[in-house]
Amino acid sequence: MTTMHEVNCSCVNTTTVNNVMVQTQAMNFLLIPAVVLTAITLLADPPLLVCVLRHRRLREEARYVFLANVFLSDILFLTFNLANVSCNALAVETPAALCGFFMVSTVTTCCSTVLTLTLMVVDTFVAVRWPLRYAHILPRRRARAVVGAVWLVSASFPLAMLLVMDDVPTSTPRTLCLVLGVLGVLKRKINISLHVYFSVWVFFCSVLICCCYMRLYVVTRSSGIWSRRFSRARLTLLLHALVLLVYFVPCFVFTAQLALYDVLEAGLTSWLNGVNLTVLVLLPRASAPYLYGLRYRELYYALRLSLGRRHPVHVSDRSAAGQGSE
């Protein structure tokens, strides 16, 4: 059984170049976009999450339950990721237990976001395909149970990896704590292709999203909503597809890095991982609240009311029959 102490020693011995690269001025520079993008996201996500939790009408709809879980997952991910990136960029010694916590928390919250976004697309398809039966197919209680299952599935793999690594507790500090490095060394130690797990999930979610969107187009093609070039339906689909694309690209990059961990040069791996964690992973989270979340009309009106700006139509009086940002 691989111990946390063995993983720590192996990381220090095999990633010396990584330590040098991360502690250079260039890697410190990558901390700037991480802080900026995190701040932009945290300006929007908490207020939108609070709006969903405060308004009973929003809390009772499955789409807003899923959206709230995306906001929550992103807030937690940004917090843990910024703390981890800051420690690495500033060469702060990280205890082994804290490094394991960073691995579990970042993987869990990232997986939760990806799975919930996939469920939101499926939820949209179900609402459009079977509008009369939608309320019975996915009531509020079932939606909350699905969110609980998402967190359970998301946490199961990283927790299992933590148990494998933490057979013998140790307090040895580490100068560098990278999720990619921890998983890469673990893959080498237990001789299991960990990247296959992530590849299967990312591929499955991507295919499922594409199938749902294609079916949505087929179902709604005869309704006339696609007749205008700049119709709201076209713009909404384009924005949703863009947000989903930038969410999934970092997942593919991380999976490729994990698969090629023993092949790529250590300095290149460090740079790719730094760019992925400080830019690619954060861009979708910074843009999603503005391009995706605020296109939900009820949520937009609820936010205006929370900010003290009155609107002629109160959020609780609007119909909940429409799905997404109609």
Average pLDDT score over residue span 40-54: 91
Residue 69 confidence class, pLDDT cut points 50, 70, 90: very high
* Residue 213 backbone dihedrals phi, psi, to 5 degrees: -70, -40
pLDDT higher at 193 or 303:
303
Condensed to tens digits (0 to 9), the pLDDT of residues 190-209 reads: 666 777 888 888 899 999 99
For tokens 């899923």, the residue is 66
| Calpha distance 46→40 (Å, rounded) | 11
Kindly list the distances between the CA atom of residue 237 and the CA atoms of 51, 77, 123, 206, 240, in Å, as whole numbers in the listed order. Answer: 24, 26, 14, 16, 5
Condensed to tens digits (0 to 9), the pLDDT of residues 253-291 reads: 888 888 887 787 777 777 788 888 889 999 999 988 888
Counting runs of H as helices and runs of E as strands, what totals does the chain give?
A: 15, 2
User: Can you spell out the DSSP letters for 64-101?
Assistant: HHHHHHHHHHHHHHHHHHHHHHHHHHTT--EEHHHHHH
Task: Please say if the pLDDT value at position 17 is more than 80.
Answer: no
Residue 27 confidence class, pLDDT cut points 50, 70, 90: low
Give the range of the structural domain holding residue 239, as residue numbers without chain letter.
4-307
Q: What is the pTM of this model?
A: 0.82
315 lies in a domain? no
For tokens 């019975």, the residue is 136
CATH number of residue 138's parent domain = 1.20.1070.10
Token digits for 108? 């869990």
Residues 6+ apart with CB under 8 A from 103: 158, 161, 162, 179, 182, 183
86 lies in a domain? yes
Condensed to tens digits (0 to 9), the pLDDT of residues 81-95 reads: 999 888 877 777 778
Token digits for 280? 């690619």
326 lies in a domain? no
130 lies in a domain? yes
Overall number of domains in the chain: 1
319 lies in a domain? no
296 lies in a domain? yes
For tokens 């009820």, the residue is 298
228 lies in a domain? yes
